[in-house]
Amino acid sequence: MNSTISLQNDSFPLQIAYPGLVTGVGIDHEAKIEGEFKLGVHFDYTWGMPVVYGSSVKGVLRAYFKDFYQGGNDKPNAEYLFYDIFEGRNMAKEHQLNDDKKYYKSIYDRDIFFDAVITEADSKERILCSDSITPHGDNPLRNPTPLTFLKIAAGCTMEFRFKLVDTKDENGDVIFSKDNKKELFEEIIKTVGIGAKTNVGYGQFQ
């Protein structure tokens, strides 16, 4: 019998650093109205708050997992963990049978990545605020037209939520616990950030 899913132990809060966090910029919404916000924002369909897609969280962790994971002779292979965590493959069964087939775990036994949500507003009780960028294009001397957009305000607390499981070997022994995963995931997100425009400082945490 599978136990009830609890997010309390499989989550961690991080405070958004200045200048804030930008998410959902690819969502098309422009109405060609003067003064409108030019970049999209993703809001949860149920409760209307800005969120970072679980798929985006998983994508960042997947992209940097092998760079951050510190393997070694006494630690599980990075490839083993990568396929187990991010593709849901039953690596223990694959190693045990060794028949060149891929086996996948039940959804109840996989690591699941939920949307990251805002749990606390900033010191001014804001969740969203406006910002602007001034693209110059190919001509650095051209007078740019500022593009205004919405961002999640710096100082807000964002909670990253997962349903994590222990990774085991073919003998059923735990080789990478869910606590190990959560600790590594937090390190990755705190280091590389998340969302759009991380190369210019957005999407960082403190």
User: 169-192, pLDDT tens digit by residue?
Assistant: 999 999 999 999 999 999 999 999
The model's pTM: 0.86
Model confidence at 3, in pLDDT bands (50, 70, 90)? very low
Please state, rounded to an integer, the average pLDDT across all residues of the chain: 87
Model confidence at 1, in pLDDT bands (50, 70, 90)? very low
Tell me if 3 is assigned to some domain: no
- Distances in Å between the alpha carbon of 109 and those of 85, 87, 90, 170, 178? 10, 12, 9, 15, 12
Nearest to 90 by CA among 74, 112, 109: 109
Tell me if 205 is assigned to some domain: no
Q: What is the pLDDT of residues 18-56, one digit of tens each?
A: 999 988 765 555 545 555 555 667 788 888 899 999 999
Q: Per the structure block, which two tokens stand in for 100?
A: 């060149």
Tell me if 122 is assigned to some domain: yes
Q: Per the structure block, which two tokens stand in for 44?
A: 């949860």
- What integer pLDDT is reported at residue 72 of this predicted model? 74
* Domain region containing 130: 11-199
Q: Helix count (H) and strand count (E) of the chain?
A: 4, 9
- What integer pLDDT is reported at residue 25 of this predicted model? 66
Which H or E element spans position 181? Answer: helix 178-192
Provide the CB-side half-sphere exposure for 45 (13 A, CA). 1
Tell me if 5 is assigned to some domain: no
Tell me if 168 is assigned to some domain: yes
Q: Dihedrals φ, ψ of 151, to 5°? A: -140, 160
Tell me if 35 is assigned to some domain: yes
Q: How many domains does the chain have?
A: 1
Report the SS3 class of residue 60: helix
Q: What is the pLDDT of residues 127-155, one digit of tens each?
A: 999 888 776 667 777 777 777 788 899 99
Percent of the chain whose pLDDT exceeds 90:
64
Tell me if 80 is assigned to some domain: yes
Nearest to 12 by CA among 198, 195, 184, 127: 184
Mean pLDDT in residue range 107-116: 95
Tell me if 6 is assigned to some domain: no
